[in-house]
Structure 1
Amino acid sequence: MTPTLHDVARLAGVSIKTVSNVINDYPHIRPATREKVQLAIAELGYTPNLTARNLRSGRTGAIALAVPDLGLSYFAELAATVIAEAERLGVVVLVEQTGGDRGRELDLLRSPRLKLTDGLIFSPLGMGQDDAERLSVPYPMVLLGERIFDGPVDHVTMRNVDAARAATEYLIAAGRRRIAVVGAHDGEVIGSAGLRLRGYREALAVAGIAYDDALIGYTTMWHRSNGARTMRDLLARGAEFDAVFGLNDTLALGAMRALQESGRRVPDDVAVMGFDDLDEAQYSIPSLTTVDPGQAWIAQTAVQTLLARIAGPTTDSAPGLLLADFRIATRESAPAV
């Protein structure tokens, strides 16, 4: 027969209330008592009745995750990590795909479907800084990405400017002086492309290297095909460069393909740097040197922060900005320094 709460309490020699407190992670329980209950749960194979618990608490036991495009490897990997972390913490994830369209993102924020969940992890792409106040919603939310800052909700994101500056400095330290960029967005200031381009320009300035707009490859979506197309455009107009900084890994991989098709050797003729440290970056030929911006930490922290908000207010209830650490993942497409 399926073990019950009573069975756990009897085996552990405690009350049913104590078992319930352990299961619900009540803090004021003696460690020895907590351990006895946990051992009894493990021995019996007891599984809490989550449906009953959620009905009592008024919660659904589910959270929502909204991303622009699961066809982009970054968001697919992010979603997988969010789902794994949520599962570890006992909740399920409903995933929404917005296409990066501002109208769909705004519709989502007031969608009745969110009543099926206890909170939202939201990564907008179409919305911008002027939409910050639209994030004032009647449910817990954690914001991801680089489209909106100083909003009314917790924001978990990466250090785009610092990380892009470090990536550019790495190429400069490898002896490269003509560093092309693939993936810039014309006129963008706030957003991944604008922030990473700022970091690139800061690194050039510190090194005394003049910024040259002829080395900047502009595109729209950050797909592999756009990276290849933008690189072919740079080559066709005669741009001379000895390194390429793809503003994400998929752009860098597309650009590297176009370079190889043109007869350029990577990294001998042209060093290539990416950004995101996607799993596939390890398996390209050559493998891609890239920025690991802390994606796993971002996903896990977003889940933990959202669940803390769902659990109730804390002594410090003001929304916070949480920034991930980054590192350069050195591989074959750029010389070691």
Structure 2
Amino acid sequence: MGKVTLQDVAAHAGVSMKTVSNVVRGYQHVSPPMRDRVQAAIDELGYRPNVSGRSLATGRSNMLAFAFPDLRRPYFAELAHVFSRVCAQRGYQLLLEETLGEADGERSAVRGREAGVVDGVVIHPQVLTPEAIDRIRGDTAVVFLGEDVRPQHADQVVIDNAGAAAQAVAHLVALGRRRIGFFGHETGPESRTSGLRLDGYRAGLAAAGLPVDDALLVPREVGDAAGAETAFGRALDAGLRVDALLCRDDLAALGVLRAMRLRGLDAPRDIAVVGWDAMGLGSSLVPSLTSVAPDTVALADTALDLLLERIDGSTVPGRLVTVGHRLLVGESAPFADGSMQGRVSA
């Protein structure tokens, strides 16, 4: 038998070429029985996609780009890994592009700097405004992550930052904590992400009947763990007294735990600590870190679903999709009985 084509697989399975294409491409919205039927035909015939031929025929490269601010941040390193894995499962290659959170880098990514090389871009911007994004993106299929943009004509995937923060506060309240602080937001204008997490923190306190005390809100000037250690250590030395702390991110929590240890304080005995992002390092700490864990797999899957629909020509209005999260309970803020027997889902 000669080279097996997409048409051969469709005829053998008794389905349309579109269905075969969706299965080969890893499109999510194909029923399991139909996927099994097509996959059986692929296996029986020995079909192998012709990537170069498909690129010439369709004008597509079968490559996507993921643009993000800083690979040194554990959250983005984890997200890049997840996106690479999810793209590979769908038969796509992924180009990783570090923008350093700079306007030029973000503009280049949104414009599709690799025009002709990638079919679409998923980007986590930090500085571009929605208006700037709408002006420059042209025909590039783009999906946005994070809370700092709300483009009218493109899709965006986020987590419920406010809801997750309120849930973390409720967990701390259930431990009997009453002086619950928030640590790690910016000293200058707050990012949208920090603002939402602070909103959720305040809502969590209000739901528990606790007052919001601005003296318990401690910003940091530098976003790494060393900067967090310096800022929180300074606050402790100045007389800050809290019995629990919600940190903006895990790097902030790492700095907090070190600043506490250097002053003879223990988590959770003296201060229960909750981080954010659930980076893998947190489970190796002593104490292991309780942390809000965004569902990064759902985030990547959803972003790619939306992006591929745009690449296929969808012109629906811009969509805002929220994916889930979990509170991963570790030793720094265990359950009220001292256990860490599970994950609290959103």
Partner residue in 2 for 1:115: 116
Task: Find the aligned partners of 2:21 and 2:87 in 1 and give their Cα distance.
Answer: 16
Task: Find the aligned partners of 2:263 and 2:10 in 1 and give their Cα distance.
Answer: 74
Task: Find the aligned partners of 1:67 and 1:312 in 2 and give their Cα distance.
Answer: 25
Query: C-alpha displacement at 1:323, in angstroms?
Result: 0.1
Partner residue in 1 for 2:146: 145
Task: Find the aligned partners of 1:272 and 1:222 in 2 and give their Cα distance.
Answer: 18
Structure 1 position 25 matched with structure 2 position 18: no
Residues 46/239 of structure 1: CA separation in 2 closer, same or farther (3 Å cut): same
Partner residue in 1 for 2:214: 213
Amino acid at match of 2:4: L
Q: Is the 8 A contact 1:67 1:98 kept in 2?
A: yes
Amino acid at match of 1:332: E
Query: C-alpha displacement at 1:36, in angstroms?
Result: 6.5
Partner residue in 2 for 1:328: 327
Partner residue in 1 for 2:162: 161
Residues 45/6 of structure 1: CA separation in 2 closer, same or farther (3 Å cut): closer
SS at structure 2 position matched to 1:121? strand
Query: C-alpha displacement at 1:202, in angstroms?
Result: 1.6
Partner residue in 1 for 2:99: 98
Map 1:217-256; keep pairs closer than 5 Å: 217-256=218-257
Q: Is the 8 A contact 2:276 2:292 kept in 1?
A: yes
Partner residue in 1 for 2:314: 313
Residues 5/286 of structure 1: CA separation in 2 closer, same or farther (3 Å cut): same
CA offset digits 1:241-292 (Å, max 9, x no partner):
1112111112112211221121101111110001112222222111111112
CA offset digits 1:153-211 (Å, max 9, x no partner):
10001101111111112112211111222211235455211111111112222323222
CA offset digits 1:197-232 (Å, max 9, x no partner):
111112222323222222222124532222212211
Q: Is the 8 A contact 1:135 1:151 kept in 2?
A: no
Tell me the TM-score normalised to structure 1 length. Answer: 0.87
Tell me the C-alpha RMSD between the 2 structures.
3.1
Tell me the TM-score normalised to structure 2 length. Answer: 0.85
Amino acid at match of 2:86: E
Q: Is the 8 A contact 2:82 2:300 kept in 1?
A: yes
CA offset digits 1:132-169 (Å, max 9, x no partner):
53465311110001111253210001101111111112
Map 1:245-324; keep pairs closer than 5 Å: 245-313=246-314, 317-324=316-323
Q: Is the 8 A contact 1:100 1:125 kept in 2?
A: yes
Partner residue in 1 for 2:339: none
Task: Find the aligned partners of 1:7 and 1:222 in 2 and give their Cα distance.
Answer: 51
Q: Percent identity?
A: 34
Q: Is the 8 A contact 1:132 1:152 kept in 2?
A: no
Query: C-alpha displacement at 1:131, in angstroms?
Result: 4.0
Structure 1 position 77 matched with structure 2 position 78: yes
Task: Find the aligned partners of 1:114 and 1:226 in 2 and give their Cα distance.
Answer: 39
Structure 2 unaligned spans of 5+: 337-346
Q: Is the 8 A contact 1:158 1:323 kept in 2?
A: yes
Amino acid at match of 1:207: A
Residues 8/128 of structure 1: CA separation in 2 closer, same or farther (3 Å cut): closer
CA offset digits 1:29-86 (Å, max 9, x no partner):
9x99986663353256442111101210111111111000011010011111111111
Residues 7/219 of structure 1: CA separation in 2 closer, same or farther (3 Å cut): closer
Residues 69/32 of structure 1: CA separation in 2 closer, same or farther (3 Å cut): closer
Task: Find the aligned partners of 1:271 and 1:264 in 2 and give their Cα distance.
Answer: 11
Q: Is the 8 A contact 2:144 2:156 kept in 1?
A: yes
Task: Find the aligned partners of 1:165 and 1:67 in 2 and give their Cα distance.
Answer: 27
Partner residue in 1 for 2:192: 191
Task: Find the aligned partners of 2:296 and 2:4 in 1 and give their Cα distance.
Answer: 39
Q: Is the 8 A contact 2:10 2:20 kept in 1?
A: no
Task: Find the aligned partners of 2:186 and 2:131 in 1 and give their Cα distance.
Answer: 18
Amino acid at match of 2:175: A
